[in-house]
Amino acid sequence: MIENMKMKLGVIEVDIEQIQISNSNGLNNLAKSFLSLNLYKKILFCSFSVIASSLLVKGQSVEFKQYNYISKDYYSRLNFSIDIPINWVINTENDGTGYFLNCKQLNYSDIENKNDCFNSQIFRIKFFKSNLDSALLFMNLQKKSEGMYLTLFENKNKILITTEFKGSTFRGLYYTITNEVGCSGKKEKKIEGKFQFIYFSNDIQTICIVTSGRSFEERVFKQLINSFKFN
């Protein structure tokens, strides 16, 4: 059972690409300025079940299946399970950057794939041989206060508000970054993407689920977190 889980996902993100920052002191002063404006009191609560960016149509029934990862090679101590919709499949990969799994939708037609800005990919999973705090540092998140981080995402400065949660075998954290997504094969067409990052850590190892720019429908998000377990 997840503790401290919020049904509405608290997310605020500020794109500060247009603000000129000359050094790290500028970032610190910027963060303090946001805090002085009672940033936490003005956090926007929004649901990830926005139809325009949702992976599933609202109101559609969803069935789940359990996925089990059994330790292999470098990930010799990693064993976990998680529920995913029955029409999703998780595949192995190795791009040399720590991503070792990806999830795609089954029965995805060529026409859908051609018109899809996300190339049918739903999320990828990254592995860290470290605790959660070290994983966040590796992902270039600079902690400025409790629950508030600064980061650089695709050459854009972002301020993030994170939410922590706990399970029986892990502690976790999630946040969302909004950024443009370019559509391959569609000249100059870009859409607004919502990149969700969900971390699970047992203090020895950490994995991070990173979406490809589409947010999870809320009940899928809840099932992912509620079902996850280090084995």
Report which of residues 114 and 228 the model is more confident about. 228
The structure tokens 């699970």 sit at 200
Strands of the 190-201 sheet, one edge to the other: 88-92, 99-105, 121-128, 206-211, 190-201, 171-182, 163-166
pLDDT for position 227 = 97
Residue 229 pLDDT more than 90?
A: yes
Quote the CA–CA distance of 70 and 79 in Å, as a whole number: 5
Q: Which helix (H) or strand (E) holds 25?
A: helix 24-36
Report which of residues 214 and 225 the model is more confident about. 225
pLDDT for position 121 = 85
3-state secondary structure (DSSP) of residue 104: strand
pLDDT for position 57 = 44
List pLDDT tens digits, range 145-204.
999 999 999 888 999 999 999 999 999 999 999 988 877 655 556 778 899 999 999 999
- Locate 29 and state its tokens: 């002063």
Handedness of CA 107, 109, 114, 116 (dihedral sign): negative
pLDDT for position 97 = 80
List pLDDT tens digits, range 25-58.
554 554 554 444 444 433 333 333 333 334 444 4
3-state secondary structure (DSSP) of residue 9: strand
List pLDDT tens digits, range 49-104.
333 334 444 456 889 999 999 887 667 689 999 999 999 999 999 877 889 999 99
214, 220, 218, 205: which is closest to 71 by C-alpha? 205
pLDDT for position 13 = 46
pLDDT for position 188 = 57
Q: Is the pTM of this model over 0.75?
A: no
In the chain, what are the domain boundaries? Answer: 48-140+163-230
- Locate 136 and state its tokens: 């966040």
Handedness of CA 188, 115, 216, 48 (dihedral sign): positive
Answer whether CATH 3.40.718.10 is correct for domain 48-140+163-230. Answer: no
Quote the CA–CA distance of 103 and 223 in Å, as a whole number: 16
Report which of residues 211 and 76 the model is more confident about. 211
